[in-house]
């Protein structure tokens, strides 16, 4: 009997939960937000080392975040009533509803964000040092993005509060993790107008870079100089001067198609040429893993490398040595091709019969022969079937 009662109670709770989810769904709306995640560097290890009551530091960081939440809301023309400030782990998330900012607003936002780490170090940390009688962690990393987020009115203990959900919040947090040892990283897609201010020298100490962000691939960013220098060192440590390329093919009712991307005019090598995708290996990767990663980052698709088709070498310029590479035949697995990086103007599935002709005549030398060899390999395996 008790088992039956428990089952009934579970059923009631399930219905209550379903009702609560429906009510939330009815209230949800989507709005543009600025998402800022600020993380105190090495806070956990610092707290463990000093065995201190961390409450004063957490309180100070909360006050610090509220202060900048208000400043950011003011720059964006928001009254601040819908601004969310939430402590998460060793950091704080600030979400400010906003409209698409104009060029001057973007410039002002960058200036306020630059102030964040300086104010924490010069204003809050000296006060904390007197309170806790030791030097607090002074460096913070800040990640910034902007985009649509779902707004939910959540009722807890009779009070309604707003919360925000969406990939834009996760993106800001991931960018914050790259801001080492301190500094600010802004998602360039969110505030593209900042590029002109950086190039014209209107904002000092900022750079236009491209970083690899976990779960998001290569992301163009604007960052402070200290972040750029650290990320460049990390990149050079992990990169190996070996290249890998993959020819991704699929067989349709009309024959074989190859996935090609037209390289941007800004590329150092073969600007405006059609390419099959590839890049430098990273420490610990196999050739197959490199090709899969590059297809995912550059084209947004999943591929299955089958075997080696050819060897090649790249010569960036006369002052640098040749970079050796392997070209692999790949079978298309899944995904809709899309521009997932800043390296290609357009991406298309191209019938193999059209490669080297018309608009596809301008293709990197050697690739047409590699495509034909890759097709021969796939046709001789079951992996090449429709």
CA–CA dist 162, 84 (Å, integer): 8
In this prediction, residue 285 carries a pLDDT of 85
Assign domain 27-204 to its CATH superfamily: Nucleotide cyclase, GGDEF domain (3.30.70.1230)
Q: Any idea where the domains of the chain sit in the sequence? A: 27-204, 239-375
Write down the residue that tokens 């021969």 correspond to.
Answer: 376
* Rg of the chain over all Cα atoms, to the nearest angstrom: 26
For the chain (386 residues), the mean pLDDT of every run of 10, in chain order, is: 55 60 63 91 77 77 89 87 84 90 89 86 86 83 90 68 85 86 84 81 80 70 80 60 92 95 85 92 86 90 95 71 89 87 86 95 95 93 50
Which residues lie closer than 8 Å to 100 by C-beta, 6 or more apart?
Answer: 32
Instruction: Determine the CATH number of domain 239-375.
Output: 3.90.79.10
Residue partners of 15: CB distance under 8 A and separation at least 6: none
Residue 316's pLDDT is 62
Which is nearest to 178 in space by CA: 113, 231, 139, 233? 231
Residue 348, Ramachandran bin (φ over 0: left; ψ between -120 and 50: alpha; else beta) = beta
Q: How far, in whole angstroms, is CA 20 from its chain's centroid?
A: 33
Instruction: Look at the block and give the residue holding tokens 């809050």.
Output: 124
So what's the pLDDT on residue 376?
93
* pLDDT computed for residue 321 by the predictor: 65
Question: How far is it, in rounded angstroms, from Cα 22 to Cα 20?
Answer: 5
Q: Is 326 exposed, middle or buried (0-12, 13-18, 19+ CB in 10 A)?
A: buried
Alpha helix (H) ranges present in the chain?
2-27, 43-50, 55-75, 103-119, 125-132, 167-178, 194-199, 225-238, 287-299, 367-379
Q: What pTM value is reported for the model?
A: 0.58
């Amino acid at each position: 009997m008790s088992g039956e009662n428990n089952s009934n109670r579970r059923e009631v709770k399930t219905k209550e939960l379903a009702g609560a989810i429906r009510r939330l769904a009815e209230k949800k709306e989507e709005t543009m937000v600025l998402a800022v995640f600020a993380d105190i560097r090495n806070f956990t290890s610092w707290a463990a080392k000093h065995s201190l009551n961390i409450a004063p530091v957490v309180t100070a960081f909360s006050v610090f975040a509220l202060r900048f939440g208000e400043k950011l809301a003011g720059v964006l023309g928001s009254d601040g009533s819908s601004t969310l400030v939430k402590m998460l782990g060793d950091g704080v998330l600030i979400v400010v509803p906003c409209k698409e900012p104009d060029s001057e607003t973007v410039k002002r936002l960058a200036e306020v964000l630059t102030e964040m780490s300086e104010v924490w170090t010069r204003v809050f940390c000296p006060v904390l040092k007197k309170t806790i009688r030791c030097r607090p962690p002074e460096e913070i990393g800040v990640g910034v993005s902007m985009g649509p987020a779902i707004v939910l009115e959540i009722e807890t203990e009779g009070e309604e509060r707003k919360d925000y959900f969406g990939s834009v919040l996760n993106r800001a947090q991931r960018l914050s993790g790259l801001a080492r040892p301190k500094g600010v990283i802004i998602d360039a897609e969110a505030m593209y107008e900042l590029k002109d201010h950086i190039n014209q020298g209107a904002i000092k100490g900022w750079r236009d870079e491209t970083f690899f962000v976990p779960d998001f691939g290569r992301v163009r960013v604007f960052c402070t100089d200290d972040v750029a220098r650290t990320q460049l060192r990390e990149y050079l440590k992990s990169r190996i001067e070996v290249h890998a390329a993959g020819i991704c093919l699929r067989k349709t009712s009309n024959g074989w198609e190859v996935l090609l991307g037209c390289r941007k005019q800004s590329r150092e090598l073969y600007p405006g040429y059609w390419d099959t995708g590839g890049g430098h290996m990273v420490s610990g990767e196999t050739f197959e893993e490199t090709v899969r990663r590059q297809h995912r980052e550059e084209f947004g698709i999943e591929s299955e490398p089958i075997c080696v088709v050819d060897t090649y070498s790249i010569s960036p310029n006369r002052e640098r040595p040749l970079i050796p590479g392997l070209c692999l035949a790949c079978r298309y697995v899944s995904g809709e091709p899309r521009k997932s990086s800043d390296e290609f103007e357009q991406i298309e599935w191209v019938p193999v019969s059209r490669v080297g002709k018309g608009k596809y005549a301008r293709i990197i030398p050697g690739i047409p022969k590699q495509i034909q060899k890759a097709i021969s390999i796939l046709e001789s395996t079951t992996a090449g079937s429709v």
